[in-house]
Each structure stands twice: as C-alpha cells, then as structure tokens.
C-alpha cells in the first residue's frame, strides 16, 4: 500500500487534532467536518480499505468500533453515525481505512 496522508498523521509528519491514540489506532478530527463533531478512527496498520481486511484483522476491526464508540461518548455524543466509505465509487478519497464518526446533529436514513 502506498503511503497516504493518514500514515503521515500517524507518524506526526503532518499535523492533526488527535483526540485518542493507543498501540493499534488513532482518532483525529476531520479537517472538513460534516457535523458539529466529526472525527476519524484509523488503524495504525496500513489497510487501504475495509474490503482489504483479512481474518487476521478481525480483532483490530472490532477495536476500531469500540474506540469509535468510546471516543464518541468522551465527546459527549449519545447518538452518532458511523460511516465507512469503501472504494472510490463509495466516495473513499483517502486509501487508508477509516471510520467516520459524526454527531451533534440529526441524520436521515437512508443516506444519499
């Protein structure tokens, strides 16, 4: 996988508003927020997109969801939306797996 700007955020080569970090993942605020609260949870392992994840990544994927929920709670969110764009046709623009966490406003369903 080629180096993306999210790898550079992990390596502190470019700045980001990091709100959580552990040995497996990082959460930081989206530079172009689509809700009053909008942050991304990314694995430190450079998986390009969700469909590239393998069985060996099962625990890591679960960890990303638990941290998304934990950080959302820490951000004062009770209701929130998770979003994973998988591939360019689904509007993925940065090819390092990331979970969007959005909150602080209402959301409609189904999404556009």
Write each residue from 10 to 39 as x if it is in contact with ligand 5GP (CB under 6 A), else as -, in one continuous string. ------x-----------xxxxx-------
Running DSSP on this structure, what letter comes out for residue 84? -
Is residue 50 involved in binding ligand 5GP (CB under 6 A)? no
Is residue 88 involved in binding ligand 5GP (CB under 6 A)? no
DSSP reduced 3-state for 74: helix
Distances (CA, A) of 9 to 4, 36, 64, 70, 109: 9, 22, 17, 21, 32
98 is catalytic: yes
Sheet holding 25-29: strands in order across? 18-21, 25-29, 37-43, 99-103, 80-83
Is residue 93 involved in binding ligand 5GP (CB under 6 A)? yes
Q: Which is nearer to ligand 5GP, 56 or 65 (CB)?
A: 65
DSSP reduced 3-state for 63: helix
User: Of 38, 63, 96, 98, which residue is the catalytic one?
Assistant: 98
Q: Which of 4, 7, 69, 85 binds ligand 5GP (CB under 6 A)?
A: 85
Catalytic residue numbers?
Answer: 98
Q: Which residues form the interface with ligand 5GP (CB under 6 A)?
A: 5, 16, 28-32, 85, 91-94
């Amino acid at each position: 996988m080629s180096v993306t700007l999210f790898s550079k955020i992990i390596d502190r080569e470019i700045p980001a508003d990091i709100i959580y970090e552990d040995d497996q993942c990082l959460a930081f605020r989206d530079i172009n927020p689509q809700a009053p609260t909008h942050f991304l949870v990314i694995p430190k392992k450079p998986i390009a997109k969700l469909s590239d994840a393998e069985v060996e990544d099962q625990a890591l994927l679960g960890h990303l969801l638990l941290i998304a929920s934990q950080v959302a709670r820490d951000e004062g969110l009770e209701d929130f939306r998770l979003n994973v764009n998988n591939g360019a046709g689904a509007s993925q623009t940065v090819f390092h797996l990331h979970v969007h966490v959005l909150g602080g406003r209402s959301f409609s369903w189904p999404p556009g």
